[in-house]
């Protein structure tokens, strides 16, 4: 705020926690300031943009997040054109617009699709085990359990997760020289399975009531964290309303890998619903993992070449 100027009514309201400004109409800083900023968590490949679209983005960098198997390649392609570290990032050869850190991994909202079993189980067994882990054969079916039986024909067959982990390793290996990290490690107890798009007779216009069990989420997040530790790349950790389970996972990785984790991998907690200031401090003390924020994460990727 300029010296001598009092706060405007809107600024006062924003400071008091009232309605924030509409993001589509916000006044942005000038381009010479934006060019020094990085959006460390975005999903640009969710929409089909021409490469030229990014030429007009005034930011200095993007952390481009993948979410599902189908968009890992799109993130790779974007980083190939605008690598954070490689010679393609030199001012002479790099296209205008932001540099990109490629972020590979599998988002918690979709982990109900994956199985660690080989061979994959039948979809009835798979979805029952992750949506109703405590369902007893002798107990009467609940309303939601009955709904699952209706939806089963429209849900995809379980996807083996082991090949996706192999793909994650390949993507990290081929992208290290451009700058990369792993992302969207889970825990999100509110992660709700939505319509898979195959229901032709039934029009599903809302999320289903099914929530993926924490046990299933934890198994998949730990598998992805193992890959991050294997390669020494940083992690963007999605944690919503699950501070306790998130910290349990980080402590488990610390106890198992010690310095290979705490000295080589920075963890950026994003979303962070339910994380109080006191719990943040506790997490840093007990996990031993640096969680110094988004800027630290991206800078360390650039500085270390991983």
30 pLDDT above the threshold of 50: yes
Q: What is the pLDDT of residues 74-85, one digit of tens each?
A: 999 999 989 888
Cβ atoms of 155 and 196 closer than 8 Å: yes
CA distances from 198 to 30, 145, 215, 298 (A): 46, 19, 27, 38
Q: How confident is the model at residue 89 (pLDDT cuts 50, 70, 90)?
A: very low
- 280 versus 140: the higher-pLDDT residue is 280
- 3-state secondary structure (DSSP) of residue 188: coil
- CA-to-CA dists, residue 305 to 63, 101, 231, 233, angstroms: 15, 11, 11, 9
Q: Which helix (H) or strand (E) holds 81?
A: helix 72-81
Q: Which region among 44-58, 154-168, 210-224, 291-305 has the lowest average model confidence (pLDDT)?
A: 291-305
- pLDDT, position 290: 53
- Residue-level pLDDT at 120: 97
Structure tokens belonging to residue 117: 């079993």
- What's the half-sphere exposure (Cβ side, CA atoms, 13 Å) at 173? 8
- pLDDT, residue 146, reads 92
Instruction: Place 297 in a pLDDT band, splitting at 50, 70 and 90.
Output: very low
Q: Which of 68-82, 136-150, 203-217 has the highest mean pLDDT?
A: 68-82
Domain annotation for the chain: domains and CATH numbers: 38-304 (3.20.20)
> Whole-angstrom Cα distance, residue 106 to residue 104?
7
Question: Percent of the chain beyond pLDDT 70?
Answer: 76
pLDDT number for residue 88: 47
- Among residues 190, 191, 245, the alpha carbon closest in space to that of 222 is found at 245
Question: Shortest CA distance to 53 belongs to which of 95, 104, 102?
Answer: 95
Q: Where are the beta strands (DSSP E) in 167-229?
A: 180-187
Model confidence over 90-103: pLDDT tens digits? 556 678 899 999 99
Q: Quick one: 199 exposed, middle or buried, by C-beta within 10 A (0-12, 13-18, 19+)?
A: middle
**pLDDT tens sequence across 101-112:** 999 999 888 999
Distance, in Å, from the CA atom of 157 to the CA atom of 123, rounded to the nearest integer, reads: 5
Please tell me whether residue 182 adopts helix, strand or coil conformation.
strand
Residue 185 has pLDDT above 80, yes or no: no
Going from the C-alpha of 224 to that of each of 75, 247, 249, the distances in angstroms are: 17, 16, 12
Residue 154 has pLDDT above 80, yes or no: yes
* C-alpha to C-alpha distances, 69 to 114, 161, 234, 293, nearest whole angstrom: 11, 10, 20, 27
Give, as one character, the DSSP assignment of residue 209.
S
Residues 126, 115 contacting (CB under 8 angstroms): yes
Task: State both tokens at 196.
Answer: 């898979």
Given this model, what pLDDT does residue 35 score? 95
In angstroms, rounded to a whole number, what is the distance separating the alpha carbons of residues 28 and 51? Answer: 23
Average pLDDT over residues 258-264: 92
pTM of the model: 0.80
* Helices 214-231/243-257 angle, 10° precision: 40
Q: What is the pLDDT of residues 242-252, one digit of tens each?
A: 889 999 999 99
């Amino acid at each position: 705020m300029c010296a001598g100027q009092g706060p405007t009514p809107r600024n006062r309201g924003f400071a008091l926690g009232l309605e924030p400004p509409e993001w589509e109409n916000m006044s942005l800083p000038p381009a010479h300031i934006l060019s020094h900023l990085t959006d460390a968590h975005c999903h640009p490949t969710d929409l089909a943009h021409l490469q030229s679209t990014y030429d007009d983005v005034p930011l200095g960098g993007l952390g481009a997040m993948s979410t599902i198997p189908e968009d890992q390649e799109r993130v790779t392609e974007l980083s190939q054109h605008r690598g954070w570290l490689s010679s393609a990032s030199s001012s002479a050869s790099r296209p205008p617009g932001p540099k990109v850190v490629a972020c590979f991994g599998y988002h918690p909202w979709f982990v109900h699709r994956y199985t660690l079993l080989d061979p994959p189980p039948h979809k009835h067994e798979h979805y029952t085990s992750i949506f109703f882990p405590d369902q007893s054969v002798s107990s009467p079916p609940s309303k939601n359990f009955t709904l699952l039986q209706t939806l089963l024909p429209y849900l995809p067959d379980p996807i083996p997760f082991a090949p996706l982990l192999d793909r994650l390793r390949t993507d990290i290996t081929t992208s290290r020289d451009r700058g990369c990290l792993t992302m969207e490690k889970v825990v999100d107890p509110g992660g709700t399975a939505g319509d898979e798009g195959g229901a032709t007779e039934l029009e599903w216009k809302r999320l289903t009531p099914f929530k993926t069990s924490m046990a299933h989420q934890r198994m998949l997040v730990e598998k992805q964290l193992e890959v991050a530790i294997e390669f020494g790349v940083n992690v963007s950790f999605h944690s919503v309303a699950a501070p306790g389970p998130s910290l349990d996972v980080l402590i488990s990785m610390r106890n198992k890998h010690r310095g290979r984790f705490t000295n080589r991998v920075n963890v950026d907690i994003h979303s962070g619903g339910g994380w109080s200031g006191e719990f943040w401090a506790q997490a840093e003390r007990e996990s031993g993992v640096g969680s110094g924020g988004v800027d630290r994460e991206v800078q360390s990727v650039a500085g270390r070449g991983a």
